[in-house]
Amino acid sequence: MHHANVFYGHAAILARYCGLSDPGPIQGYLQHGWNFHDGFAVGHEFVPGTPKFVWSETVRRRGWSLGLRDYYVVGAPWAYLVAMQEDPPPPGDGTIVYPFHGWEGQQIIGDHAAYADEVRAMEGDVPLTMCLYWNDYDKPEVRKVYADKGFRVITHGRRGHMYIGGDTDFLDNQLLELRRHRRVVSNRLGSALLYGASLGREIGVYGDPMVLRNDHAVLGGMARQQRLFPQLHRAQVDPGVAAGVVRAELGTELLLPPGALAARLGWA
């Protein structure tokens, strides 16, 4: 099992959906985040013939255009988590913000104070929650910038690395927070916005997009995001447009029944 399969509790969520307590490793590579590439990290090395489990047909087509094969569409783990909820989301209050973030190997360059001021000016006098990725949350000076400007500052947990330090309740924490807010905004497109839109939350993309140190040119940066999804780069995104993107990118209408999913992942 590739260690990225357990990021954000993805494997645990799929096992829960299948009704399995300890199904063993997923027999293949599971897409762990949303991107404009092939569904996986740039430079990811694959064992030939090993299945690649991705969220949607759009991701599969992008991968095929790059010469990759052995794709299987299973839907996003987030979509399975939402499908297991018995109650619809409440109306929610205030706005939760997900600033563009880096990871262990690449850091973000940007002005957090200026971004905080821009969000406050746009969102108005409502409760604001700033959700930082763990590597930014671990920096007291970054947390302080937002806290001093009236934001509630949180993180959903750690994704872990090489099976160490990951929080399997990461997406459960994210679902709890998205259900309690009315709007979800960011300075770049990302998984969190799609997750919010899947719950019927208003979404928006605005503000300084910031810069990822040593970003991969193949991803196309902010220019590619704006070219592919111009309709999402505004403070108020049309709900119908957002819903369409969610269906296309998260595969919410392509979820497999528990038995079929278990068989596809090598758990049967």
Partner residues linked to 96 by β-bridges: 129, 184
**Predicted local distance difference test score (pLDDT) of residue 45:** 84
DSSP codes, 75-115: --HHHHHHHT-SSPPP---SEEE-----BTTB-EES-HHHH
CATH class label, 95-249 = alpha beta
**Predicted local distance difference test score (pLDDT) of residue 162:** 61
The single-letter code of the amino acid at 119 is: V
Q: Let me know: does 58 contact 249? Beta carbons within 8 Å.
A: yes
**Rg over CA atoms, the chain:** 18
Where are the chain's structural domains?
A: 3-84+253-264, 95-249
**Predicted local distance difference test score (pLDDT) of residue 249:** 95
Q: Which two tokens stand for residue 52?
A: 């690649």
- pLDDT < 70 positions in the chain: 1, 101-109, 162, 211-221
* List of E strands, the chain: 29-30, 52-54, 71-73, 95-97, 108-109, 128-131, 152-154, 183-186, 202-205, 211-212
**Predicted local distance difference test score (pLDDT) of residue 12:** 96
Partner residues linked to 53 by β-bridges: 30, 72
Distance CA 95, CA 183 (A): 5
**Predicted local distance difference test score (pLDDT) of residue 13:** 98
**Predicted local distance difference test score (pLDDT) of residue 95:** 98
Distance CA 74, CA 264 (A): 8
**Predicted local distance difference test score (pLDDT) of residue 145:** 96
**Predicted local distance difference test score (pLDDT) of residue 214:** 54
